Amino acid sequence: MVKNAKIPLLYQVIVLLMSGIFLFAGSAFVFAGDVVKIGLDYPETGTYAKQGLDEKRAADLAAEEINAAGGIMGKKIQLIYRNDQSNPKVAKENATELFDKEGVPMVFGGSSSAVAIAHEKVALAKNKLTFGTLTYATATTGEEGNRHMFRASYDSYFAAHVLADYMNKNFAGKKYFYITSDYIWGWTTEDAIRKFTNTTDKAANAAVLTKLGAPDFKDALNAAKESGAQVLILSLFGHDMEVGMKEAFELGLKKTMQIVVPNLTLDMAAGAGPEAMEGVIGAIDWDWQIPSKYNYPKGIAFVNKFEEKYKTYPDEPGAAAYVILYQYKDAVERAKTFDTKAVIQALEGYKYTGLKDDQYWRPWDHQSVQTVYAVKCKPAAEVKGSKYQEDYFEIINTMKGDDAAIGQKEWTDIRAKVGVPAVLEEAK
């Protein structure tokens, strides 16, 4: 009897221990249920690190604001960071890990179109969502586009359109020379500008391809100088553009050529410096002065909060990252679920006001259709006299998104040429 009595006692101990384990696990589950992890895969290092830092700062600010207001459907955002190194192979690995191991429903960030395309391929395969944060290649939402990608930034087609509208009035009949970063953004940017400026004759308007992260661009710049061209299209980005512009200034190219940087950001202009950038033309979709210039309250509040927190002004990459988090939150709450397909449906065709005037997610290609601007860099003395020395851009042309963006027929034709259906592919 004594021996048999020990069995129930042992059993009770085991039950109590197991109950404790389950209670602990249950508590952990409840805690996890109060959080939604979101992946931020951005260039912490490398050629585009400045743009990556701007994205992280703005994303952190948006997450803090959203969490203070109750999160997304009651769940607090936990940003999970990865360094994409502006390398599509690394970006693919990061996105796969974020979706599979971290369980994030959405990944955003990046300052390279090759990275954005890597993200969207993984998102399709995993039935998850991604937002292109800083990706200008037309292919991102063009021939490479799928239903699991939404692009927050404008693209090279927008940039070429608003720039050509100005350049054709001021540089018609001039000889062009192209220095182009040798990957998908550079190629599509050059193609778009050639199309809209009628400089498709590559014998008359020559080009040189350059490697991402090259130590210098002197050979390409000397070729441009010797070509006799009056307009130089410098399709370099991030640190590459900073190096290229400084070298162009030192070589005296600005004395004989109008230099155009198709996709320009404040970080890049500041990195090259006021003297090198004076008079340079480029395109932007946002700048810290736009909200106050046109009285956009949400944009003004963002600029003020960013400046207060980081003692500098936000840039275009940060603005995109900030808006993406809010747009994802709003879509989830309209859908009343984190389910990928339901959130996609909530986004498609949705009109919203981010940090400037009205925008919308175009349903057939998932491009954010928005106003774009051509700018000219101000005189060096004016820049140097401004707060933080960050007052670089004078707006010289403005174009509404529907006028600047690629049309559906041309988009469909481009996809047909590479054998891609006219309807965006989605996960089964």
Domain ranges of the chain: 34-154+292-367+407-417, 157-284+372-404
Average pLDDT of every residue of the chain: 93
Distances in Å between the alpha carbon of 279 and those of 133, 215, 259, 418? 28, 25, 8, 39
CA distances from 237 to 98, 186, 234, 287, 345 (A): 27, 9, 9, 17, 33
| The pair of three-digit structure tokens given for residue 381, joined into one six-digit string | 């003395």
Helix ranges (H only) for 295-421 are: 297-310, 316-335, 340-347, 380-384, 401-404, 408-417
Mean pLDDT of 234-249: 97
pLDDT average, residue stretch 378-394:
97
Which of 100, 97, 59, 103 has its CA nearest to residue 79? Answer: 59
Tokens 């692009």 belong to which residue?
A: 151
Spatial distance between the Cα atoms of 176 and 194, rounded to a whole number of angstroms: 9
**pLDDT score recorded for residue 20:** 43
Q: Does 34-154+292-367+407-417 match 157-284+372-404 in CATH topology?
A: yes
Question: For the chain, what percent of residues have pLDDT higher than 70?
Answer: 92
Are 260 and 163 in contact by the 8 Å Cβ rule? The answer is yes
Q: Between β-strands 35-42 and 106-109, what pairing exists: parallel, antiparallel or unpaired?
A: parallel
pTM: 0.90
What value does the mean pLDDT take over residues 188-195? 95
Range with lowest mean pLDDT among 24-28, 319-323, 371-375? 24-28
Q: What's the pLDDT tens digit per position in 70-80?
A: 999 999 999 99
Identify the CATH homologous superfamily for domain 157-284+372-404: Response regulator (3.40.50.2300)
Domain 34-154+292-367+407-417: which CATH number of 3.40.228.10, 3.40.50.300, 3.40.50.2300, 1.10.3720.10: 3.40.50.2300
At 428, the pLDDT band (50, 70, 90 cuts) reads: confident
Query: Is residue 89 pLDDT above 90, yes or no?
Result: yes
Q: Is the pLDDT of residue 33 over 80?
A: no
Distance CA 347, CA 330 (A): 9
Q: Which two tokens stand for residue 263?
A: 């996709």
Confidence grade of residue 3 (pLDDT, cut at 50, 70, 90)? very low
Confidence of residue 175 (pLDDT cuts 50, 70, 90): very high
pLDDT at 12 over 60: no
